Structure 1
């Protein structure tokens, strides 16, 4: 069963199949599992300074000769430039709970070990460790125009991460498989699918995703342990009666210009067409992974908050997203490993 994070990202990628111009997409890898971060200092790699690498040298005293050697700080990797992100375990309330983290932050030793493991992979071109303050600075730059997001996220909410770039032809799934089991790692994010969605064109589109069999979402009736670590009761799929009633309700909303229903097979066929160049992603995705949905185009200039709020309350609805806002939520999850409350990701009037 998919985790809530996986369900949300997979749903977003499904939406992408209907709204992205294929010409803007680069080959996409398989979706990531989860993510991670923590409270630790920026770690400095003890590597020799070489020509062509931007680095800051610091003096270290070693050995009986009291000689000074230069240690290079790794070159910075900007958030949008990272091919993948390793997110360390965190107790932040904005990070989805991961049982393997044991309800604790990653230790400094685990962060250091993860960094060494990343740099030891032959398929990794470069890596850059991001502490909480640097992550917060980047977060505020990314969401400078979204005041509600800035108000919702504090520096202590952000986990420590390792951004990495890959060599040409690198196998992303192999990189993920090598790093995911390491202690202190919450998850490894493959950024390519989300970055492609972020670069796609936006329109006044609302996605209404229906509950599927075995859903882990509370909106579908699922229940989890108090710590959020495990589903104790699975949710139920939307009934045909609920789907019919929802379609009629959507059609009657004054803000709606047009509505299209997409079943699992149609969603999968659309997904295959748009992501035909990424065989790894297609192999990892089945028809049964696709949520049924309504794609609702709003009238130009109309209010989006009222119909979204109405649709989220309907029986059989797993989630409803205004697409331009959904992109901010995806960006926060992919680049920073946090999931702010939906009403903070995109509050009315933002």
Structure 2
């Protein structure tokens, strides 16, 4: 069975998940090493009424021409192509065919027009993105070399991660409704209740428990080339968790919400949802959507 999972940069997943504080788990955010390619594009999405800073307006025809002129005049740019709203929406419908919640959350008018830009190998991509983001009529410019998403599966990554409360945790979920267990690590009783819910998830294929020592060992192995990060991270920073693998057609929204409310659960990450949001943002310029694919935990 092919899992719906994309290879992504660590920074992109962390940003989308809204994680703060210590690094949680190597497996949760680590992805296979990626060789950067000069072929990766910079996507410059034009304003739509829902885009931040666009004052509830679409980019005007003049703004579109000015943006194209700016991009073509940039010395490091080797190619500029325009993607219409109709073409982008058709691609979106094809890519997410069968995922009714995603399709229902996006209308044709929500999808921005865009310019796709290729640059030379010596280009300062960060500068080009920053300049593009400041142009009138631009809703968002994204460098696919920074937030790369492709169809290659990452078989070691779980579909959902259920992180458990640690001792002295100040996360609201670990202090809410736990009585005497407040500020303590997840209790045996809480773990049994969590496992009971996990085992009843429709489409569950398998799950495993990862203790702090295993999480820390995986983290050290994954980031062995980043001595500063490893030296700043202790085993106590790594929460224990349950890793879940489910069938590709399984709906994880309801199980995620139920697990998030359970005593002893610190937070839940739906990896497929996080990666889907990254894909929608980087390829389609969509980051503010209707209900249905919003929060991912």
Shift of 1:142: 1.7
Where structure 1 has 5 or more consecutive residues not aligned to the other structure, the ranges are: 30-80, 211-235, 277-281
Report Cα offsets for 1:264-292 as digits up to 9, x if no partner: x969x66982896xxxxx9xxx98xxx97
What secondary structure, in the 3-state scheme, does the structure 1 residue paired with 2:116 have?
A: strand
Structure 1 distance, partners of 2:17, 2:225, is 15
Taking structure 2 as the reference length, the TM-score comes to 0.63
Please name the residue that 1:32 is paired with.
none
Contact 2:101 2:293 in 1 (8 A): yes
Contact 2:105 2:292 in 1 (8 A): no
Alignment of 1:10-29 (within 5 A): 18-22=29-33, 25-27=34-36
User: Alpha carbons of 1:328 and 1:152: their partners in 2 closer, same or farther (altered >3 Å)?
Assistant: same
Alignment of 1:88-103 (within 5 A): 88-92=46-50, 95=51, 98=52, 100-103=53-56
Structure 2 distance, partners of 1:117, 1:257, is 51
The count of aligned residue pairs is 249
What secondary structure, in the 3-state scheme, does the structure 1 residue paired with 2:259 have?
A: helix
Structure 1 distance, partners of 2:61, 2:207, is 53
Contact 1:242 1:316 in 2 (8 A): no
* Structure with more relative contact order (C-alpha pairs < 8 Å, separation 6 or more): 2
What secondary structure, in the 3-state scheme, does the structure 2 residue paired with 1:199 have?
A: coil
Structure 2 distance, partners of 1:163, 1:132, is 13
Structure 1 distance, partners of 2:48, 2:238, is 33
User: Alpha carbons of 1:18 and 1:261: their partners in 2 closer, same or farther (altered >3 Å)?
Assistant: farther
Q: Given the alignment, which residue of 289, 292, 297 partners 1:343? A: 292
Please name the residue that 2:276 is paired with.
328
2:78 matches 1:125? yes
Structure 2 distance, partners of 1:124, 1:204, is 38
Please name the residue that 1:273 is paired with.
223
User: Alpha carbons of 1:254 and 1:104: their partners in 2 closer, same or farther (altered >3 Å)?
Assistant: closer
Contact 1:251 1:259 in 2 (8 A): no
Shift of 1:307: 3.1
Alignment of 1:109-120 (within 5 A): 109-120=62-73
2:239 matches 1:298? no
Contact 2:186 2:264 in 1 (8 A): no
Contact 1:209 1:320 in 2 (8 A): yes
What secondary structure, in the 3-state scheme, does the structure 1 residue paired with 2:109 have?
A: helix
Please name the residue that 2:160 is paired with.
206
Structure 1 distance, partners of 2:278, 2:83, is 19
Where structure 2 has 5 or more consecutive residues not aligned to the other structure, the ranges are: 1-12, 165-170, 176-181, 200-205
Structure 2 distance, partners of 1:314, 1:259, is 17
Please name the residue that 2:16 is paired with.
8
Contact 1:208 1:293 in 2 (8 A): no
Structure 2 distance, partners of 1:209, 1:197, is 27
Report Cα offsets for 1:213-257 as digits up to 9, x if no partner: xxxxxxxxxxxxxxxxxxxxxxx7665746834983645544372
Contact 1:85 1:190 in 2 (8 A): yes
Structure 2 distance, partners of 1:111, 1:243, is 56
Structure 1 distance, partners of 2:257, 2:137, is 38
User: Alpha carbons of 1:336 and 1:132: their partners in 2 closer, same or farther (altered >3 Å)?
Assistant: same
What secondary structure, in the 3-state scheme, does the structure 1 residue paired with 2:223 have?
A: helix
